[in-house]
């Protein structure tokens, strides 16, 4: 058990690194939460704080025991291995499509930031956080300029309401990708099924990748491309 002197002398270090981990993990988590990703605000905050904690445990054991043969990086190595299982849980395979790779990559990087902060480099942790946010937000805005203009075609989505749950989840999924379902053409096909017509870019894989997410919504019966092409461009 640690002594009171050891606790008092390391309390400031523990709090500073812990707070930095919460700030960095939380900043990235807010961006993920706004996009409705599975690993959101609290998840990324806890991942970063937990990784920092494991690194602090390694450091404290090394300092407290004073054993020259204790390697403080061994626990960090186990974090790198273990975080892969958490990342794998965010990857979903649906009808031949793989989604959640970005969320898994973010989890992996956030764990690295936590280890960096826990090892005693909080400012580098902040810098890395800024780079991650630039990658997630900045590159998303630059991407259309690099890949060229979008080419839009009409897609048809047929769903069964299931007490309104399907419509709400479908609207939420589309909203994550900047599409307001109220601006789409919605019509009733029969007594139980509805049809939504919306224009999607079929040129850039990123823009239609979330069609796999739509299939995850309960009550979705069909997602297919219409033959008539839309003339909208951005």
What is the tens place of the pLDDT at every residue in 26-57?
A: 999 898 877 767 678 888 898 999 899 888 88
> Residue 233: its pLDDT value, please?
40
- Closest to 114 in 3D by CA, of 88, 94, 144, 86: 86
Name the percent of the chain in helix, strand, coil, to the closest 5: 60, 15, 25
Please say whether the beta carbons of 137 and 189 come within 8 A: no
Q: Which two tokens stand for residue 41?
A: 């605000």
Q: Is it the case that residue 58 has pLDDT exceeding 90?
A: no
Integer angstrom CA distances of residue 80 from 17, 73, 213: 19, 11, 28
- Closest to 24 in 3D by CA, of 173, 140, 133, 167: 133
Q: Which two tokens stand for residue 2?
A: 């640690």
CA–CA–CA angle 87, 210, 202 (5° rounding): 135
Q: Is it the case that residue 230 has pLDDT exceeding 60?
A: no
> Residue 144: its pLDDT value, please?
66
Q: How confident is the model at residue 137 (pLDDT cuts 50, 70, 90)?
A: confident
Give the number of residues written for the chain: 234
Domains of the chain, each with CATH number or no CATH:
4-146 (no CATH), 152-229 (3.30.70.260)
Q: Is it the case that residue 163 has pLDDT exceeding 70?
A: no
DSSP 8-state secondary structure symbol assigned to residue 48: H
Sheet holding 220-229, edge to edge: 185-188, 194-201, 152-159, 220-229
- Residues with Cβ < 8 Å from 2, sequence gap 6 or more? 60, 64
* Residue corresponding to tokens 């309401």: 161
Q: How confident is the model at residue 232 (pLDDT cuts 50, 70, 90)?
A: very low
Q: Is it the case that residue 93 has pLDDT exceeding 60?
A: no
């Amino acid at each position: 058990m640690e002594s009171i002197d050891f606790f008092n002398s390391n309390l400031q270090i523990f709090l500073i690194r812990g707070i930095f981990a919460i700030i960095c993990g939380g900043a990235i988590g807010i961006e993920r939460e706004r996009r409705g990703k599975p690993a959101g605000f609290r998840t990324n905050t806890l991942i970063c704080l937990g990784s920092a904690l494991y690194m602090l445990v390694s450091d404290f054991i090394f300092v407290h025991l004073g054993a020259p043969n204790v390697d403080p990086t061994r626990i960090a190595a186990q974090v790198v291995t273990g975080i892969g299982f958490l990342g794998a849980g965010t990857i979903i395979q649906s009808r031949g499509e793989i989604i959640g790779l970005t969320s898994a990559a973010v989890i992996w990087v956030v764990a690295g930031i936590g280890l960096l902060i826990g090892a005693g480099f909080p400012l580098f942790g902040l810098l890395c956080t800024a780079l991650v946010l630039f990658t997630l937000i900045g590159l998303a805005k630059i991407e259309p300029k690099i890949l060229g203009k979008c080419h839009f075609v009409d897609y048809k989505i047929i769903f069964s309401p299931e007490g309104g749950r399907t419509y709400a989840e479908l609207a939420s999924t589309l909203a994550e990708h900047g599409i307001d379902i109220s601006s789409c053409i919605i019509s009733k096909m029969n007594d139980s099924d509805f049809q939504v017509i919306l224009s999607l870019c079929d040129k850039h894989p990123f823009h239609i990748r979330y069609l796999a997410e739509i299939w995850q919504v309960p009550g979705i019966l069909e997602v297919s491309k219409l033959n008539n092409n839309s003339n909208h461009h951005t």
